[in-house]
Chains A and B, each alone.
Chain A
């Protein structure tokens, strides 16, 4: 009896499409092509989002001197990455965009992201992309994603200044469409579920 149920269960499973559940983030009313990120990566190379077609991309805007919320979010993305497993991991690409290009040089970003890469198999060619641009390049990108950032001087503090910024993450499907965003504090499970779903959906095309 138990065996029968097991067999029936596995048949049912294999016949199933990915569950038609809704995505967990906040959807855009009309999914649109994701605004490009014409910035420079942490190795000094020009970047374009079009190179990431076929991957599910998550974009996060932050700054490396932020010791609290930014690493929490990047750590969550590394958990999503490892949660995908080796087969799907190569179809996921998290991107960090600095809102503090003044302090975050390419080198600083590379070192900062390197600490996270080592958790996801940086040795297998997987790694965060870190992007930087002069304010004239960065401002239109932030506006296109609806990201705000404001430099706030902190007199009397050794940090000099902090940067208030939108701490959401943005999900782009394998076709390059901006589908949804998650507020800070979204669960790893929800993000992972959506990324996996979008990877599977992309693989069918």
Chain B
């Protein structure tokens, strides 16, 4: 998979703290109301680990980093402090695991549209990305 050119980092990326983390295959689940989630692959081309520490979006009242885990047949979900992206490695945010949780949607998310997310990394700084809304 190739990285879309549009995902090149913006904002505070220049200089010593040059952003090395890029988000690919970013999508969010269509939802009429309530909550939704966004998923993506975070790739770190740098030599040091980085962390996603925060995500923001205008479409929801609150945005948090969450993780779903299965213990036996029990599904558990809880917030996480951050999501580590290892050096020269990647972190996968995918259904049934880590996700950006969109809490209290301000409007319906319709399949096919794009929403904006802002990601804040510990080292790579802030990035604005777009997530494609896909069918639930």
Contact = CB atoms under 8 A, between A and B. Distances in A.
Are A and B genuine complex partners?
yes
Interface of A: 64-69, 71-72, 74-75, 78, 108, 111-112, 114-116, 119, 148, 152, 154, 156-159, 162, 164-168, 183-185
Contacts of B75: 66, 69, 164-167, 184
A71 B133 CA distance: 14
A166 B66 CA distance: 18
Contact of A68 (B61, B64, B68): B68
Nearest to B104: A158
B62 to A, nearest CB: 3
9 contacts: A67-B34, A67-B36, A69-B75, A69-B77, A74-B136, A112-B31, A159-B79, A164-B74, A166-B74
Nearest to B33: A111
Contact of B73 (A68, A74, A166): A166
Interface of B: 29-37, 61-62, 64, 66, 68, 70, 73-79, 95-96, 99, 101-104, 135-136
Nearest to A157: B79
A66 B31 CA distance: 11
Contacts of B78: 152, 154, 162
* 7 nearest A-B pairs in the assembled complex, by CB-CB distance: A158-B62, A167-B75, A67-B37, A67-B35, A164-B76, A158-B103, A115-B32
Main secondary structure of the interface of B (DSSP, over half): strand
A112 B96 contact: no
Contacts of A114: 32
B73 A115 contact: no
Q: Most chain-B Cβ atoms within 10 A of its Cβ — which of A68, A111, A114, A185?
A: A68
A112 B34 CA distance: 8
A68 B76 contact: no
Nearest to B30: A115
A185 B70 CA distance: 10
Contacts of A183: 73
Nearest to A183: B73
B136 A162 contact: no
Given A164-B74, A167-B74, A69 B34 contact: no
A74 B99 CA distance: 18
A159 B103 contact: yes
Contacts of B34: 64-65, 67, 108, 111-112
B32 A67 contact: no
Q: Most chain-A Cβ atoms within 10 A of its Cβ — which of B33, B74, B101?
A: B74
Nearest to A162: B77
Contacts of B31: 67, 71, 112, 115
A127 B31 CA distance: 17
Given A67-B31, A165-B75, 5 more contacts: A67-B29, A67-B101, A72-B96, A157-B64, A159-B79
Given A111-B32, A119-B135, A68 B74 contact: no
B35 to A, nearest CB: 4
Contacts of A162: 76-78
